[in-house]
Amino acid sequence: MFRTEALRSTNRRQNKPIPKIAFLAGWVALLAVVPVIYILIRALTGDPELWQRIIQTRLIKLFSNTLWLVLAVTSGTTLLGVSMAWLTERTDVPGRKIFRWLLALPLAIPPYIGAIIHLALLRPHGGLISQWLEGTNFASLPLPNPTGFWGAAFVLVIFSFPYVFLLSGAAFRSLNASFDEAARMLGRTSWQTFWQVTIPAIRPGITAGALLVSLDILAEYGTVALLRFETFSSAIFVQLAGRYDRSAASILSGVLILLALVILYGEFRIQGQSQFTQIGSHWRPTTLIHLGKRRIWGFLALLFTVLVSFIIPVGLLLFWSAQGILDQQTISGMQIGSKGLLSFIFNSVWSSGFAAILAVLFSIPIAIYVVRYPGKVSRLFSRISQVGYAIPGVVVALSLVLLVNRFLPFLYATPLVVVMAYVVRYIPQAVRSSESAMHQLSPNLEEASRLLKRNALQTFVQVTLPLILPGLLAGSALVFLSSLKELPATLLLRPAGFETLAVRVWIWTEEGFYLQAAPASLLLVVISIIPLYFLLRRETIFRQ
Amino acid sequence: MKLEIEHLSKHFSGNQYPAVNDIKFSMQAYEILSFVGPSGCGKTTTLRLIAGLERPDQGVIRLDQHIISNTRTFIPPEKRNIGMVFQDHALFPHLSVFDNIAFGLKGFTKAEKKDRVSELLELVGLEPLAKRFPHILSGGERQRVALARALAPKPALLLMDEPFSSLDAHLRLEVREQIRNILKASQSTVIFVTHDQEEALFMGDRLAVFNQGKLEQIGSPETIFHDSGSRFVAAFMGDSDFVRGKSMPSGFQTELGLLDQQNDYSPGTDIEIAIRADDIDFELNQQGNGRIINRFFRGAFNFYRVELDSGAIVHVFKLHTEIFQPGDRVLTYFNAGHPLKIFTR
């Protein structure tokens, strides 16, 4: 009896060899988590007196500012995103196909460029609108203050709502007509059906979108800095770039990361349940709601949203760019030393592209490990590798400054540090894309390949890779898009002379040269539209 | 022996019971063996252990006298020379029919590949579809491509995991006959997994009935059906009902009366008799031993469900002309003409 027990336990160990992929995945998870751990340790081991001073002087104000902004923007984007998705997916409002595209396109405009346009229009003195009004009877009309809490909340809602719009649109689309019909047959009015069936069914999708938006707002630097509303991100930036106080920055970063980790944990919990609306084989689209005469109001709501979030900003950028190009002085101002726009484009594209490739390569072992060997360890690795969602750009910059200086000094002051920051910050997006691509691949295909005489590596190259390639490309497009728009980490980490489009737009704006910044902004938007278009074509609501 | 399996066991962590529990059987060359049993009985796991897609906890698997798996050895699936047809066919969507079938032909020259693939396309009757991609094929065509792909490298053993379950019912009958003919024509040794008793009887030269990780019985379709080795096999394979009774020197005393059948049980043993719908009959009788609960019209037959006074349920075939109403009292009696299967309680 004793003997057989002993035998069995050795068998167990023999029979469950740790797959090699686990080691690769472990390395990736480690790389992804080191910056966070390092900052948390720095924060916890910070000088107690400094802690006390920060708690007394800064923390409450920063906390309330940051939380209020997150709350306002998240509710705003949810409201706007879900109603836009409802109008374009569930009603017969005219032009809804074109509106679907136009509503997603603001994702190509980084919020800080939105903030620049917002300021250019609404500045109390010198703003375009106030200039127009000056000659007219409306000169004394009180214009809303473009800066501060409401300004920042407005700009961030306008340029973040597409996340929620896309996720809730997909959720609306995947709802089976039979849910609605069953509810109606069970005696619910269409209004009751909406609240009791439709909304609960799409709730996980909406919540996941809203939580991702809140993480984005925690990380947002450019907009809040420009509109002078202080949050954790902008305060850390000032500590780092203005006062060179890394200890205070570490403490603030530690608090910010903890806040973000709580939200990320909530998002992970939601992710697990968001699968219950699936398009099965018996799926039928729900019938559209006929708005009748109210169609015009729906149409106007869509038109207004699209005008404010995409058409006016891009129109103005076009107009200013044309003005700028015609003006000799502005043109020469765009030349920095020997470098011009072309060099900024080149730097933007190669650094983002390189980051995209690295992030996707790193994400592959994680995806294979968690999808093919589901279990506690693999899920932990996958989640750890997604911790970058919770590290704002300023914090990534701080931890890389400290870590690179200490352990990889030869990398310091090279553009590679910037690429590293993009990888750490955006690898979660690649991990998600790769995981979902792996999920869609039936394990039977890989098993069939093994039985047809291919070993594990040959199977990966000949079967797995070609089939998950579209998913990997989508992941890299996403990382590319995000890196292209990234501002704070690039500003803090870039070596002197390494200028990307985002950096140039920012510097010109800070110096007050709005006209000069316009062509670079426009280029950034146009380049962003390319990966965005590729990504949107894969979205549920743009298929067929 | 082509395939020999001894003491094969597999326990998935987190499950209370082993998925495969100490299984032993062997197969002759060119034989088709059906694995049948309810879902979760261990038949698919056994198949995957043989394929090398799972590692056994214990046991020995020998293929053509070579050990492919025991406690020390584990030959990976790609080196076992075993073919498999998957439930969802698992055709590679990025490869054409030709390339799918040629995928397993490692080490073949281009010309050899072409010959072997066209040989198989002919065997499965799909020559015109070589250049098509899997997503535009019909279910039956995919089925045959999957079979051709598995057969192409001339595997020592072919495994089929519920290959017809994704097909429509009417197509299934047609396809399974085609497939059986192909398997016999190509002289394959095959293990065929299904949860459908009728399909198992049709496909298998022999049947292996699984229940809760154990191999309950292995034998010819006739043996399994008429001489079930356990109550489970009788219930699962033969749609049997069970009537309780006691053994007597001259037969068995039950509520259907005395079953006149020689036996070696000591008198007074509690037994159960497995009864099929054609083993018993009834007549209207107010003083009878049961009551009709339902009549099912089956074309040539009426199929009656009768509740005996003890509460036991039995089923009875009658000609389609003999119609009785639910609620009628009936006298049910043995009418088999052959020995019935007895199990002790």
Cβ-contact A69, A231 below 8 angstroms: yes
The CATH number of whichever domain residue A320 belongs to comes to: 1.10.3720.10
Name residue A147's beta-bridge partners. Answer: none
Q: Which of B198, B190, B193 is nearest to B208 (CA)?
A: B193
3-class DSSP state of B94: coil
Residue A295 maps to a domain: yes
Asked whether the predicted pLDDT for residue A528 surpasses 90, the reply is: yes
CA angle A254, A72, A270 (to 5 degrees): 65
Asked whether the predicted pLDDT for residue A279 surpasses 60, the reply is: no
Min CA distance, A172 vs chain B (Å)? 27
Are A212 and A320 in the same domain?
Answer: yes
Share of chain A above pLDDT 90, in %: 41
Q: State whether B78 and A450 contact (CB < 8 Å).
A: yes
- pLDDT for A346-391, tens place per residue? 999 999 999 999 999 999 999 999 999 888 898 899 989 988 888 8
Q: How far apart are CA A315 and CA A297, in angstroms?
A: 24
Cβ-contact A32, A427 below 8 angstroms: yes
Q: Which of A115, A48, A42 is nearest to A313 (CA)?
A: A115
A466 contacts in chain B (CB < 8 Å): 94
Q: State whether A448 and B106 contact (CB < 8 Å).
A: no
A452 contacts in chain B (CB < 8 Å): 78, 83, 103-104, 106, 149, 153
For chain A, which residues lie within 8 Å of any Cβ of chain B, measuring from their own Cβ?
8, 11-12, 14-16, 442, 444-445, 447-455, 463, 466-467
Which residue is it, tokens 């950096």? A503
Are A81 and A203 in the same domain?
Answer: yes
Q: Which of A373, A460, A439 is nearest to A16 (CA)?
A: A373
Asked whether the predicted pLDDT for residue A291 surpasses 70, the reply is: yes
Cβ-contact B328, B221 below 8 angstroms: no
Helices (H), chain B: 43-51, 97-102, 110-124, 139-151, 169-185, 197-203, 221-226, 231-238
Which residue is it, tokens 């009985």? B41
Are A384 and A465 in the same domain?
Answer: yes
For chain B, which residues lie within 8 Å of any Cβ of chain A, measuring from their own Cβ?
51-53, 55-58, 71, 76-80, 82-84, 86-88, 90, 92-94, 103-104, 106, 149-150, 153
Show the tokens assigned to A384.
């750890």
Are A304 and A349 in the same domain?
Answer: no
pLDDT at A137: 67
Are A308 and A358 in the same domain?
Answer: no
Helices (H), A105-147: 111-122, 128-134
- pLDDT for B184-216, tens place per residue? 999 999 999 999 988 999 999 999 999 999 999
User: Which amino acid, one-letter code, is at A362?
Assistant: F
Report DSSP letters for A313-376, one per residue: HHHHHHHHHHHHHH-HHHHHHT-BTTB-HHHHHHHHHHHHHHHHHHHHHHHHHHHHHHHHS-SH
State the pLDDT confidence band at B322, using cuts at 50, 70 and 90. confident
Q: Which of A133-137, A192-196, A362-366 has the lowest mean pLDDT?
A: A133-137
State the pLDDT confidence band at A312, using cuts at 50, 70 and 90. very high
The 8-class DSSP code of residue B340 comes to: P
Share of chain A above pLDDT 70, in %: 91
3-class DSSP state of B81: coil
Cβ-contact B208, B27 below 8 angstroms: no
Asked whether the predicted pLDDT for residue A4 surpasses 50, the reply is: no
Question: Among the CATH numbers 1.10.486.10, 3.40.50.720, 3.40.50.300, 3.60.9.10, which is that of B3-236?
Answer: 3.40.50.300
State the pLDDT confidence band at A276, using cuts at 50, 70 and 90. very low
Asked whether the predicted pLDDT for residue A140 surpasses 70, the reply is: no
The model's pTM is 0.84
In chain A, what's the furthest Cα-to-Cα distance? 100
Residue A483 maps to a domain: yes
Q: Which of A256, A209, A210, A208 is nearest to A232 (CA)?
A: A256
Q: Which of A102-106, A133-137, B113-117, B180-184 has the lowest mean pLDDT?
A: A133-137
Show the tokens assigned to A154.
């407005």
Q: How far apart are CA A95 and CA A99, in angstroms?
A: 6
Measured from the Cβ of residue B85, the count of other Cβ atoms closer than 10 Å reads 28
pLDDT at A289: 78
Highest mean pLDDT among A68-77, A267-276, B225-234: A68-77
Q: State whether B84 and A448 contact (CB < 8 Å).
A: yes
Which residue is it, tokens 């082509």? B2
Measured from the Cβ of residue A508, the count of other Cβ atoms closer than 10 Å reads 21
pLDDT at A1: 34
Are A248 and A333 in the same domain?
Answer: no
Q: Write out the CATH class of domain B241-344.
A: mainly beta
Q: Which of A271, A307, A339, A311 is nearest to A507 (CA)?
A: A339
Are A172 and A306 in the same domain?
Answer: yes
How big is chain A by its Cα radius of gyration, in Å? 25
* Mean pLDDT calculated for residue range B47-65: 93
Measured from the Cβ of residue A300, the count of other Cβ atoms closer than 10 Å reads 11
Show the tokens assigned to B304.
């009656």
Domain count, chain A: 2
Distances (CA, A) of A298 to A74, A414, A464, B137: 22, 51, 45, 44
Q: State whether B83 and A451 contact (CB < 8 Å).
A: yes
Strands (DSSP E) along chain B, which ranges?
3-10, 20-27, 32-36, 58-63, 66-69, 82-85, 157-161, 190-194, 206-211, 214-219, 241-248, 251-254, 257-259, 270-275, 280-284, 290-298, 301-308, 313-319, 329-334, 341-344
A14 contacts in chain B (CB < 8 Å): 71
Q: How far apart are CA A23 and CA B194, in angstroms?
A: 38
Distances (CA, A) of A89 to A290, A333, A540: 12, 46, 11
* Mean pLDDT calculated for residue range A132-144: 68
Q: Which of A6-10, B34-38, B145-149 has the lowest mean pLDDT?
A: A6-10
Which residue is it, tokens 């990504």? A535
Min CA distance, B21 vs chain A (Å)? 14
In degrees rounded to 5, what are phi and psi of residue B267? -55, 140
3-class DSSP state of A115: helix
User: Which amino acid, one-letter code, is at B314?
Assistant: V
A454 contacts in chain B (CB < 8 Å): 78, 106
Element (H, E) at B312: none
Cβ-contact A94, A294 below 8 angstroms: no
Report DSSP letters for B45-59, one per residue: HHHHHHHTSS--SEE
B76 contacts in chain A (CB < 8 Å): 450, 455
Are A337 and A263 in the same domain?
Answer: no
Q: State whether A452 and B103 contact (CB < 8 Å).
A: yes
Residue A29 maps to a domain: no
User: By residue range, what is the domain housing residue A46?
Assistant: 36-279+291-326
Q: State whether A16 and B55 contact (CB < 8 Å).
A: yes
Q: Which of B84, B75, B256, B254 is nearest to B155 (CA)?
A: B84
CA angle A111, A470, A275 (to 5 degrees): 75
- pLDDT for A417-457, tens place per residue? 999 999 999 999 999 999 989 998 999 999 999 999 999 89
Q: State whether B153 and A453 contact (CB < 8 Å).
A: yes
Interchain CB contacts (distance < 8 Å): A and B: 68
Helices (H), A55-123: 60-90, 96-104, 111-122
Q: State whether B57 and A444 contact (CB < 8 Å).
A: no
Cβ-contact B67, B8 below 8 angstroms: no
Cβ-contact B191, B47 below 8 angstroms: yes
- pLDDT for B77-100, tens place per residue? 999 999 999 988 899 999 999 999
Q: How far apart are CA A476 and CA A489, in angstroms?
A: 19
Q: State whether B150 and A12 contact (CB < 8 Å).
A: no
pLDDT at B4: 95
Are A175 and A265 in the same domain?
Answer: yes
Distances (CA, A) of B264 to B228, B249, B251, B342: 18, 8, 10, 11
Are A342 and A483 in the same domain?
Answer: yes
Which residue is it, tokens 């799918």? B100
Q: How far apart are CA A373 and CA A61, in angstroms?
A: 46
Helices (H), A17-59: 20-44, 48-54
Asked whether the predicted pLDDT for residue A131 surpasses 80, the reply is: no
Rounded to the nearest 10°, the torsion over CA A38, A39, A42, A43 is -150
pLDDT at A90: 87
Q: How far apart are CA A148 and CA B286, in angstroms?
A: 94
Are A322 and A335 in the same domain?
Answer: no
Q: How far apart are CA A158 and CA A160, in angstroms?
A: 6
Q: Select from A303, A326, A349 the last residue of a domain.
A: A326
Domains B3-236 and B241-344 in one fold: no
Are A141 and A198 in the same domain?
Answer: yes
Q: How far apart are CA B220 and CA A539, in angstroms?
A: 54
Q: Where are the domains of chain B?
A: 3-236, 241-344
Residue A415 maps to a domain: yes
Residue A24 maps to a domain: no
Cβ-contact A502, A132 below 8 angstroms: no
B40: left (phi over 0), alpha (psi -120 to 50) or beta: left
pLDDT at B308: 92
